[in-house]
Structure 1
Amino acid sequence: MEQLINYLLQFGQLNLQQIDLVKSKAKVKTIRKDTYYHEAGKIFREVIFLTEGVMRVCYYNNKGDEITKYFFDENHFIADVESLNQGIPAVEYVQAVTDCEYIAISKNALDELSMTIVGWDMIIGKITAKGMVDKVNRISPMMADDAKERYLRFLTNFPTLANRIPLSYLASYLGITQSSLSRIRRNIRE
């Protein structure tokens, strides 16, 4: 729980009473590796803060291929903001890549915190803005890079993730086949 509070305090101030209120609304949960936390077609009913493990966001393209859009590791919030706020079904899946522990805060609890804590919306706004920038920064640079450059950029930007995720997910994220990724990795080691 302290991980969540420390993260929130990077974006604004909360007094002890407000911190206790946030803690009372949050629930620690776990999910096993390979389990889907959320499925496309369902509405997000909570926001989660990942405290341990790796999750990925993925979808199926029109050919039925599973595409990994991005990964989340510790100290990141995960939610489909549009689904959560507008009550519409999400179009992507969220899957645990490793065994994970997370803190969940329901939509109703978020609304209550918004009405109770002065400055809560500002904190959430800053976190959401950071998440959007991070998302763009993860995807945009990869558009112009070739496969080897995308892999090297991934290793530079996410050095702890490469050894925690299956090659098939990483290849999908990089937009290449698993055999191409194996070849790139082998050539880099030589």
Structure 2
Amino acid sequence: MEHLINYLLQFGHLNQQQIELIKSKVVIKTTKKDEYYHEAGRIPREIIFLTEGIMRVCYYNNKGEEITKYFLEENRFIADVNSYNQGIPSTEYVQAITDCEYIVLSKTALDDLSQTIVGWDAIIAKITAKALAEKVNRISPMMTADATERYLTFLNNFPTVANRVPLSCLASFLGITQSSLSRIRRTIR
């Protein structure tokens, strides 16, 4: 729980009473490795803060191939912001790559916090803006780089993730085959 509070405090001030209110509104849950936390076609009714493990966001392309969009590790919020805000079905899956533990904030809880805590909406807006900027910064360099550069960039930006995710998921994220990834890994060692 302290991870969540410390994260929130990076984006604004919360007094002890507000912190206790937040703690009273959340639930801690787990998802086992390889299970899906969220499936496409469902409307998200909560956001989560990952405290242990790695999850990936993926989708199926028009050929039926599973494509990994990105990975999320500890101390990150996970939400399909567009689907959540608009109340429409998501097009993405969220899968636990490792056993995961997370803090759940339901839509009702978030609405209550918004109405009760002065500055809550500003904190959430700053977190959302940071997440969107990170997403763009994570994807943009990958678009123009060759496969080896994409892999090296990934290693540089996410050193703790590379050895915790299956090669098939990492290859999918990098937009290359698993055999190409294995070859790249052999040549750079």
Coarse TM-score class (shorter-chain normalised): over 0.9
Counterpart position of 2:21 = 21
CA distance in 1, matches of 2:5, 2:78: 16
Residue 104 (structure 2) pairs with residue 98 (structure 1): no
The CA deviation string for residues 46-95 of structure 1, in whole angstroms up to 9 with x for no partner, is 01000000000000000000000000000000001111111100000000
The one-letter code of the counterpart of 2:114 is S
Mapped to 2, the partners of 1:115 and 1:135 lie a distance apart of 29
Return the offset for 1:39.
Answer: 0.4
C-alpha distance in 1 between matches for 2:148 and 2:116? 50
The residue number in structure 1 matching 2:160 is: 160
Q: Counterpart of 2:45?
A: 45
| Cα offsets for 1:69-123 (capped at 9, x unmatched) | 0000000000011111111000000000000000000001101100000000000
What code does the residue aligned with 1:169 have? C
Structure-1 residue corresponding to 2:179: 179
Corresponding position of 2:150: 150
User: What is the DSSP-based 3-state SS (H/G/I as helix, E as strand, rest coil) of the residue aligned with 1:121?
Assistant: helix
Cα deviation 1:120-149 (Å, max 9, x = unaligned): 000000000000001101111000000000
The AA in structure 2 aligned to 1:92 is E
Q: One-letter code of the match for 1:173?
A: F
1:11 aligns to 2:11 (yes or no):
yes
1:179 Cα shift? 0.2
Which structure 2 residue ranges, 5 or more long, are not aligned? none
Q: Which amino acid aligns with 2:82?
A: E
Distance 1:12 1:186 in 2: 45
Q: TM-score, normalised by structure 1?
A: 0.99
Q: Where in structure 1 are there 5+ consecutive unaligned residues?
A: none
Which aligned pairs between 1:107-118 and structure 2 lie closer than 5 A? 107-118=107-118
CA distance in 2 between counterparts of 1:7 and 1:180 reads 37
Partner residue, 2:71: 71
Q: After TM superposition, where is structure 1 displaced by more than 4 Å over at least 4 residues in a row?
A: none
Identity of aligned residues (%): 76
User: TM-score when scaled to structure 2?
Assistant: 0.99
| Counterpart in the other structure of 1:56 | 56
Q: Specify the SS of the correspondent of 2:164.
A: coil
Aligned length: 189
Using the alignment, how far apart are the partners of 2:42 and 2:104 within structure 1?
Answer: 17
Deviation at residue 20 of structure 1 after TM alignment: 0.4
How far off is 1:185 after superposition?
A: 0.3
